């Protein structure tokens, strides 16, 4: 079994460098795909209350037989629950649906609603040991900086997000937001690593040439690029062969020149 490299969050928690997402999956697809992903070797599973498949994800985790302490599970708070009181209730609801006693990472799904009240609840959950790490999702660089500074200077909350999960792929590299993340010690996690099929990503000449030189697929090259950039990628697929292909990215390395060619696609 491949040992997945990890990235250390600001609080010392290790997050796998490659994960598995379940956005827009039916319950049946999510259960089967999560079980398949864990059997393949993935150890990070990313879901959200708004995906409406948490119970299925929980069943997939159980079916896999992989010990809970070997799996890194991410959940997200939806905007309708973005307040101090609702956040605590929503966290408990997600745990019950997943059939778990804790989450490894809990994210504010969007920068809307009472995000400061919700964050206060997140910090309390974290300090009580109910979640191992906390973060945000879909925060631009400016929103992220404002969020951290308002918490610190206005609300007296020193705990900054440990992760920011944003749409990230070769055509949307989040270079400016990443500078803010690095400034505050926040790990960059990327959703939609394959640009949801846009920009002709799977036929793009630059990516195709790099892929051919390594005997790999374009998808594998994109995930390898993420790994070398220190971006946690969470590809999704319901097809066993694609789930396995996306995991087979630890036996080659992109050169500095190839990384530079991909940087130019932003």
List residues with catalytic annotation.
51
- Whole-angstrom Cα distance, residue 213 to residue 261? 14
Cα of 34 vs its chain's centroid, Å? 15
Evaluate whether 244 touches 40 at the Cβ level (below 8 Å): yes
Neighbour tally for 78: CB within 10 Å: 18
Question: What Å distances lie between residue 189 and 18, 85, 103, CA to CA?
Answer: 9, 27, 17
Which residues fall within 8 angstroms of residue 50, CB to CB, at 6 or more apart? 76, 78, 109
Residue 17 φ/ψ, nearest 5 degrees: -75, -15
């Amino acid at each position: 079994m491949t040992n997945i490299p990890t990235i250390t969050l600001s609080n010392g928690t290790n997050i796998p460098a490659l994960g598995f997402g379940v956005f827009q999956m039916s319950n049946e697809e999510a259960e089967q795909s999560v079980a398949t992903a864990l059997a393949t070797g993935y150890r990070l599973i990313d879901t959200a209350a708004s995906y409406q498949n948490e119970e299925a994800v929980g069943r997939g985790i159980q079916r896999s037989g992989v010990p809970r302490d070997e799996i890194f599970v991410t959940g997200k708070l939806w905007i309708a629950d973005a307040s101090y009181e609702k956040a605590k209730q929503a966290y408990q609801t997600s745990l019950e649906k997943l059939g778990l006693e804790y989450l490894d990472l809990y994210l504010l799904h969007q920068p809307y609603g009472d995000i400061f009240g919700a964050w206060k609840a997140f910090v309390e959950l974290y300090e009580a040991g109910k979640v191992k790490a906390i973060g945000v999702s879909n925060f631009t660089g400016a929103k992220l900086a404002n969020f951290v500074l308002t918490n610190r200077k206005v609300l007296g909350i020193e705990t900054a997000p440990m992760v920011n999960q944003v749409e990230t792929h070769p055509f949307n590299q989040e270079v400016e937001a990443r500078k803010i993340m690095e400034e505050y010690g926040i790990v960059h996690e990327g959703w939609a690593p394959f640009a949801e099929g846009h920009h002709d990503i799977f036929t793009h000449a630059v990516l195709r040439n790099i892929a051919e030189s390594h005997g790999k697929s374009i998808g594998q090259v994109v995930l390898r690029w993420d790994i070398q950039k220190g971006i946690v990628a969470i590809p999704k697929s319901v097809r066993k062969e694609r789930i396995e292909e996306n995991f087979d990215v630890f036996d080659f390395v992109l050169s500095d020149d190839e990384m530079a060619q991909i940087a130019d696609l932003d």
